[in-house]
């Protein structure tokens, strides 16, 4: 009896370990708020033209500042000293049986940002892509999987 009880408890402990989600591979924050204009005070040198606050009248609206968005559904969370953009983002999709989470992070060269703030995923350095789900499988789906298994072993 003790052997059965300990075997049952061991199986329960092993199954409980399968229920948790592993740690995420995307360790950076997934979004950043743009800096307010009042917190950025460029140094004044007494001249009318200030290079720190210069914005051309007909500038390209490509992402280059913290808080700007880039399609692959990410936000610029940091600008490195060489001008490269650290980006990260998360997409959540809720389904009737659970939810799906897609997290993305990496480093983008601003020269690869195309019109419409589009960057190909092949042009992202240090890319980390993570897909997780917490969906539960219905009993009918489990039976369907079991039926496919047994039909593959012993066809009719």
Residue 74 lies in a domain: yes
In the chain, DSSP assigns E strands to: 69-70, 74-79, 85-95, 98-108, 124-133
Residue 16 lies in a domain: no
Q: What's the number of CA atoms in the CB half-sphere (13 Å) around residue 93?
A: 8
Give the pLDDT confidence of 30-85 residue by residue, as tens digits. Answer: 666 666 655 556 666 767 777 666 667 777 778 888 888 898 789 999 999 999 99
Residue 141 lies in a domain: yes
In 11-123, DSSP assigns E strands to: 69-70, 74-79, 85-95, 98-108
Give the pLDDT confidence of 115-152 residue by residue, as tens digits. Answer: 888 999 899 999 988 888 877 665 556 667 677 777 77
Strands 124-133 and 69-70: unpaired
Which string of b and e fits 22-34 if b means at least 16 CB within 10 Å?
A: eeeebeeebebee
Which residue do the tokens 């789906």 mark?
141
Residue 10 lies in a domain: no
Mean pLDDT of 9-35: 59
Residue 89 lies in a domain: yes
Report how many domains make up the chain. 1
Residue 2 lies in a domain: no
Q: Tell me, what's the pLDDT at 16?
A: 52
Confidence of residue 156 (pLDDT cuts 50, 70, 90): low
Residue 65 lies in a domain: yes
Residue 145 lies in a domain: yes
Q: Tell me, what's the pLDDT at 137?
A: 61
Strand partners, 75: 69, 88
Provide the residue range defining the domain that includes 73: 27-34+51-153
């Amino acid at each position: 009896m003790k052997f059965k009880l300990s075997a049952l408890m061991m199986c329960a402990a092993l199954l409980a370990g399968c229920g948790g989600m592993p740690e995420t591979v995307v360790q950076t924050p997934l979004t950043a708020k743009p800096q307010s204009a009042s917190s950025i005070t460029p140094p004044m040198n007494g001249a009318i033209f200030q290079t720190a606050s210069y914005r051309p009248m007909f500038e390209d609206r490509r992402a280059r500042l913290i808080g700007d968005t880039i399609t692959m559904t990410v936000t610029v969370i940091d600008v490195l000293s060489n001008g490269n953009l650290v980006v990260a983002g998360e997409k959540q999709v809720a389904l009737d049986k659970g939810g799906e989470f897609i997290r993305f992070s990496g480093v983008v060269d601003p020269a690869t940002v195309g019109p419409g703030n589009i960057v190909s995923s092949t042009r992202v350095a240090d890319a980390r892509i993570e897909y997780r789900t917490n969906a539960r499988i219905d009993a009918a789906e489990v039976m369907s999987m079991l039926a496919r298994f047994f039909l593959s072993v012993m066809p009719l």
